Structure 1
Amino acid sequence: MGSVKTWPHRRGYIESWWRPNKTRGYLYLDKPPTPNILPWPQTSPPYRIVDNLSELFRYTKPRIELMPRMVHGILEVFREEHENMRWLVMGDDDSIFFVDNIADVLAGYDHTKYYYLGWHSESVVPNLWFSFDQAFGGGGIVLSFPLARALVRDMDGCLLRYAGSSSADLITMTCIADIGVNLTPHKGMHQVDLRGDFSGYLSAHPKAPLMTFHHFDAMDPIFPSKDRFESTRHLMKAADADQSRLLQQTICYHRRGNWSISVSWGYSAHVYENILPRSYLQVPIETFRPSAKGPKPPFFMFNTRPRSSDPCEAPHVFFFESIYRSISDDGFITNYVRATPRGLPACSATGNHSADHISKIQVFSPAKKRLQMDRSECCDIVGLADSKADIKFRECGIDEIIA
């Protein structure tokens, strides 16, 4: 769902993931496109104009006119193209979809059953405002074909029943609840009701395939020295190679130097001058703030750890620079370069083994997709010379402990 007003600015987000002649879908606009955005680009989804619902609401006026029009878009997509449809996926014009992961995740569900997939807001207050049981639409809503069909058949009645609602996502959830279906949550779908520096969350992403991001306009660019659109394209370089590992956290140790290295594949790497267990490193550093804040904690729907100036707790931070196919074996090589100097002394408690001299981390990962997410990967530090650390991913041993 989008609008003529926001389209010129948000076009870059959609075109970063849309695959012409491969992806099936439409961009629904609030009104016909103006001459300044025509002719319509072939690199974008074909557009449609959302239906005028004035006749439906002749006697019952909606609280906010736009909200039922957005929900009605489900019917309009279904009407446009439902032959051989298995799943209907919805989002906003500033949503970013990771299509390969979406297809792989949905392949694990029976599309002939009734499914409503999504995830809640990351901040507590928006869930209080609306519902803890709804999918937030910017992060994506996924409906199986039977559920979409049932919702379409009841669309007019549904919109009239909940005309007083102030949220399209809440209307969708309540209408689906009346069919007898509840949310199937998925941690890879992100509303991103967070503001500021998102890197702490992205560096410790939940152990689930990344499916969507929303609100890229509302947070800082995710890569240093790049704007939001450049950051999106840069992340997609890794996504185009291997979405199954994208943002998945892998941890290994340099025992002699008492270092822990945490890699968020395709995004960042952190080096800690201390041996820290996975149970600690999987908790995001609170580099961000909630989109809406209550009078007292909790503010987030997940655990966080504070930023630290303790040299035994503060990481050296590196960001994804490049990716290429390995010539020597079947895999990918990703490079991560230091963002800024850490500006702290070495950790004295673990022997003063400073990592200040490391400027680059090179990661070797298999080309084969990881479709099983029951356990994270493990890794080994296979080289440490001058200013570079070499890391190789592998499956964890049966009894291996990441600590």
Structure 2
Amino acid sequence: MISTSPTNHRPSFSLASVIRSFLPSLFFFLFILYLLHSYEILIYPPHFTSKINSQHSDLQTNATKASLVNLTQTEHPKIGYDTELKHIAFCIAASSKLWESRKEYIKLWWKPGETRGGVWLDKKVKIKPNESLPDIHISQDTSRFPYTNKQGHRSGIRISRIVSEALRLGLEDIRWFVMGDDDTVFVVENVVRVLSKYNHKQFYYIGSSSESHLQNIYFSYLMAYGGGGFAISYPLAKELEKMQDRCIKRYPGLYGSDDRMQACMAELNVPLTKEPGFHQNDIYGNLLGLLSGHPVTPLVSLHHFDVIEPIFPGMERAESIKHLLESAKYDSASLIQQSICYDQKREWSILVSWGFTVQIMRGILSPRELEIPSRTFINWYKVLDFTSYTFNTRPVRVNPCQTPFVFYINSTRYDKARKQIIGIYTLHREHHPRCKWKMVSPKTIHTVVVLKQEDPDRWQRAPRKDCCRVLPSSKKGIMYLWVGHCGENEVIEV
């Protein structure tokens, strides 16, 4: 007989009862997944397959993870010398009258405990405790030196001797002295990259000319402009220190410090080695065109922030530079490097200046045109003359349909999971004239997401711009771009 005792009875389970018992947990789990997906979609497109061109294989992506395919990189041997930041002494020329405002620029790039050197002033200033500033030095008296230039100021003599005075401090293990003004901002990682190309045991005088053709005619194309900064190798600084005071006395009629320095270099038979990443910025107005058309070389320095507009609209000058340098923390080698691509479907031209802006224009403009800086600025003498610059420029587009829509960098972060840098660029809201072209307007985009990988060794290879690709997206108002090494046979198809 089969017992029906409760102790021996095994209850039966139906499928419906099992589903009912797990439904609350299932709904909660799906809700969490939805929240995570909604967050991720703001950063990555849900799916994309980007075709480079007919000669290059498609870049396949995983639709769930939305991760980019890493192109195979060719290993390149290290080029140059093992110069590090600790081997560089920065020599900053400053004025006591402007110290309170100008020191804010120095704080932006000076790294206490890492950068070495000091600031040289004409007289003592009040020093607040715990400020992230270099050591303060008072320049030696220069009243014994003659000065006859009626347009200049004899402080040029004081400033020209700063490198020699820095040498006399006896700092150990210094290979380079880098000169700059109190309103010069350096990207110190790129200073190291540029100087690492040169043998510090030889005589080098490295810098760049002015952006103004007339300035270079008036002073010299053979001179490194001090506001943009210049570098002098240690052995050259030693030779300079021995003869500089005698040299200075031979040129009482020169204007400033940098032309006196160049005069002494001429007597030492040392020419200027030009590095276009040092920027004097002898211009007025908006730097958008200049920076978005930067040459294929590391951005080393920027100058004259008191006369140019803030590089990010709506910010104070020092705040705008700090914002730019935030991107440099993730990939300083690529800062403001240019990439060009096209949205063929919507017939848009896209100009990326990494870490700074993305510009979208209606119509297809050739790379040859887009790579030239647009004249969003005017020259040092405030003359509306395109021949006044030392580089090619292009006019700002007068066709209302081709006025660029500018997206400024909003934030930058690093995605450890995908080993990618994510840059979020937001549209600058400004008036755009009415366009009669029957095509989609870039104003339909409010955010551009740029994905890239860090590339610290990009300047160990032959100079080349990064390639840019438009990634498909189903998210309304968001455009996704990828910038990075060009693939085999990859060209910009116009």
Q: TM-score, normalised by structure 2?
A: 0.77
Aligned to 1:399: 489
Structure 2: how far apart are the matches of 1:335 and 1:88? 37
- Give how far 1:234 is off: 0.7
Measured after TM superposition, the shift of residue 400 of structure 1 is: 2.6
Note if 1:75 corresponds to 2:75: no
What is the 5 A alignment of 1:262-341?
262-293=351-382, 298-341=387-430
| 2:401 and 2:434 in contact (8 A); partners too | no
Structure 2 CA distance, aligned partners of 1:281 and 1:264?
Answer: 11
In structure 2, the partner of 1:356 is: 443
Q: For residues 157-176 of structure 1, what are the structure 2 equivalents within 5 Å?
A: 157-176=246-265
Task: Spell out, residue by residue over 1:126-171, the C-alpha distance to the aligned partner (whole angstroms, 9 max, x if none).
Answer: 1122111111100001111121111111111111111221121111
What is the aligned counterpart of 2:452 among 365, 373, 378? 365
- The alpha carbon displacement at 1:354 in A equals 2.2
Give the conservation status (yes or no) of the 8 Å contact 2:297–2:463: no
Q: Report if the CA contact (8 A) 2:340-2:468 is conserved.
A: yes
Aligned to 1:245: 334
CA distance 1:306–1:327, change in 2 (3 Å): same
Query: Which of 166, 181, 184 pairs up with 1:95?
Result: 184
Q: Which amino acid aligns with 2:94?
A: G
- Alignment partner of 1:393: what SS? strand
Matched-pair contact (CA < 8 Å) for 2:446–2:477: yes
Name the structure 2 match of 1:4.
96
Assess, with a 3 A threshold, how the Cα gap between structure 1 residues 328 and 277 changes in structure 2: closer, same or farther. Answer: farther
Q: 5+ residue gaps in structure 1? A: none
Q: Deviations over 1:294-320 (max 9, x none)?
A: 696511111111112324532111111
1: distance between equivalents of 2:326 and 2:431?
27
Preserved contact between residue 273 and residue 346 of structure 1 (Cα < 8 Å): no
Equivalent pair of 2:401/2:433 in contact (CA under 8 Å): no
Q: After the TM superposition, which residues 198-237 of structure 1 pair with which residues of structure 2 at under 5 Å, given as runs?
A: 198-237=287-326
**Can you list the C-alpha shifts for 1:45-97, whole angstroms capped at 9, x where unaligned?**
1100000123x43xx45544211111111110111134211111000000000
Task: Provide the C-alpha distance between the structure 1 equivalents of 2:406 and 2:224, rounded to a whole number of angstroms.
Answer: 33
Q: CA deviation at 1:386?
A: 0.9
SS of 1:335 mapped into structure 2? strand
Instruction: Read off the aligned partner of 1:31 and give its amino acid letter.
Output: K
Following superposition, the deviation at residue 199 of structure 1 comes to 1.2
CA contact (8 A) 2:229 2:301 kept: yes
Query: 1:381/1:30 Cα in 2 relative to 1: closer, same or farther (>3 Å)?
Result: same
Relative to structure 2, which stretch is displaced further, 10-19 or 141-150?
141-150
Determine if contact 1:322/1:335 at 8 Å carries over to the other structure. Answer: yes
Does structure 1 conserve the Cα–Cα contact (< 8 Å) formed by 2:333 and 2:455?
A: no
Opposite residue 212 of structure 2, the aligned amino acid is S
Query: Secondary structure, in 3 states, of the residue corresponding to 1:218?
Result: coil
8 Å contact kept, 1:274–1:347: no
1:1-30 deviation digits (Å, cap 9, x = unpaired)? 001111101111000000001100100001
Task: Note the C-alpha offset of 1:327.
Answer: 4.0
Contact 1:251 1:278 in 2 (8 A): yes
- Distance (whole Å) between structure 2 residues aligned to residue 2 and residue 396 of structure 1: 44
* One of 96, 112, 132 as aligned partner of 1:20: 112
Which segments of structure 1 move beyond 4 Å, counting only runs of 4 or more? 60-64, 293-297
Task: Report the Cα distance in structure 2 between the residues aligned to 1:395 and 1:102, rounded to whole angstroms.
Answer: 23
Contact 2:206 2:231 in 1 (8 A): yes
Query: Percentage identity across aligned positions?
Result: 35
Q: Report the alpha carbon displacement of residue 102 of structure 1 after superposing the two structures with TM.
A: 0.6
Q: CA RMSD in A?
A: 1.8
The change in CA–CA distance for 1:296 and 1:381 in structure 2 (over 3 A counts) is: closer
Q: CA deviation at 1:235?
A: 0.8
* Cα distance in structure 1, aligned partners of 2:383 and 2:448: 40
- The structural deviation recorded for 1:38 is 2.7
Q: Structure 2 CA distance, aligned partners of 1:241 and 1:309?
A: 36
What secondary structure is seen at the aligned counterpart in 2 of 1:26? strand
Q: What is the one-letter code of the residue matched to 1:2?
A: A
Distance 1:297 1:231, change over 3 A: closer
CA contact (8 A) 1:252 1:378 kept: yes
Cα deviations across residues 321-356 of structure 1 (Å, max 9, x unaligned)?
A: 1001114311210111111246245573xx613222
Q: TM-score, normalised by structure 1?
A: 0.93
Q: Does 1:389 align with 2:479?
A: yes
CA distance in 2, matches of 1:52, 1:42: 27
CA distance in 2, matches of 1:286, 1:255: 26
Indicate if the aligned counterparts of 2:178 and 2:229 stay in contact, CA closer than 8 A: yes
Q: Hey, what's the Cα distance between the residues in 2 that align with 1:359 and 1:30?
A: 49
**Paired residues of 1:62 and 1:68 also in contact (CA < 8 A):** no
> Against the structure 1 CA distance between its residues 296 and 356, is the aligned structure 2 distance closer, same or farther, given a 3 Å change threshold?
closer
Q: Look up the SS of the partner of 2:298 in the other structure.
A: coil
Q: Map Cα deviations across residues 230-267 of structure 1 (whole Å, 9 max, x no partner).
A: 10111111112211111100112212221221110111
